[in-house]
């Protein structure tokens, strides 16, 4: 772990090992290339921190700026929290079916599926085939998925439409993902 730095903590003040820096003042004025000692002295005089903002800046030298490190870290945390708020985690609910499903069981599964889609969740429908059913996989699977799609599209989801997002087939499993579009 020696020599390895945390990504969250910027290079600042005495931790800066570069001999020459391109210095930018707090007001944005470019001071050009200065030595590390000179830059640290200016930072102490202004009661600010010397922070490297780009390790490979102009002219191949690191770019450092005189700023308040505490304020910089606060702003970064605030931006991360704001970005985290805007993230939307998509939940995927799965329903598993067999090709020879009884009518009442099918209706129960479809009621669950409609409920999941109404809540804004993605729906993963998996058909699994056993034994000789695998030989009839294409016929039975296609007809059952058509029936599922018709049931989901005919459901009242508040003016939203159901679309098929993806499909995968692997061995005895056949999976489709359905999503509600506004």
One of 3.10.20.80, 3.30.300.30, 3.90.280.10, 3.40.50.620 is the CATH number of 13-83, namely 3.10.20.80
Cβ pair 50, 40 in contact under 8 A: yes
pLDDT number for residue 106: 92
How far apart, in Å, do the first and last CA atoms of the chain sit? 50
Task: Give the model confidence (pLDDT) of 76-126 as tens digits.
Answer: 899 988 888 888 778 889 999 998 889 999 999 999 998 988 888 888 999
Q: Superfamily assignment of 92-181 in CATH?
A: Translation initiation factor 3 (IF-3), C-terminal domain (3.30.110.10)
Provide DSSP, 18-81: -SEEEEE-TTS-EEEEEEHHHHHHHHHHHT-EEEEEESS-GGGS-EEEEE-HHHHHHHHHHHHH
Task: Give the model confidence (pLDDT) of 145-178 as tens digits.
Answer: 888 888 888 887 776 777 777 778 888 888 988 8
Domain boundaries, the chain: 13-83, 92-181
pTM above 0.85, yes or no: no
Question: What sign results for the dihedral spanned by CA atoms 74, 79, 84, 86?
Answer: positive
Q: What is the mean pLDDT of the chain?
A: 83
pLDDT at residue 21 above 70? Answer: yes
């Amino acid at each position: 772990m020696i020599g390895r730095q945390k990504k969250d903590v910027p290079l600042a003040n005495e931790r800066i090992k570069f001999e020459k820096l391109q210095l930018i003042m707090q007001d944005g004025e470019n001071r050009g290339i200065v030595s590390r000692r000179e830059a640290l002295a200016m930072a102490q005089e202004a009661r600010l921190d010397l922070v490297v903002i780009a390790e490979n800046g102009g002219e191949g030298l690191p770019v450092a700026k005189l700023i308040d490190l505490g304020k910089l870290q606060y702003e970064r945390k605030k931006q991360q929290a704001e970005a985290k708020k805007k993230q939307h985690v998509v939940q995927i609910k799965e329903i598993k079916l067999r090709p020879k499903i009884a009518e009442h069981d099918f209706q129960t599964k479809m009621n669950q599926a409609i409920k999941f889609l109404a809540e804004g969740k993605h729906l993963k429908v998996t058909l699994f085939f056993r034994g000789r059913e695998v030989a009839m996989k294409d016929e039975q699977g296609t007809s059952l998925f058509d029936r599922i799609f018709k049931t989901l599209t005919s459901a009242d989801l508040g003016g939203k439409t159901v679309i098929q997002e993806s499909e995968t087939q692997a061995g005895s499993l056949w999976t489709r993902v359905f999503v509600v579009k506004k």
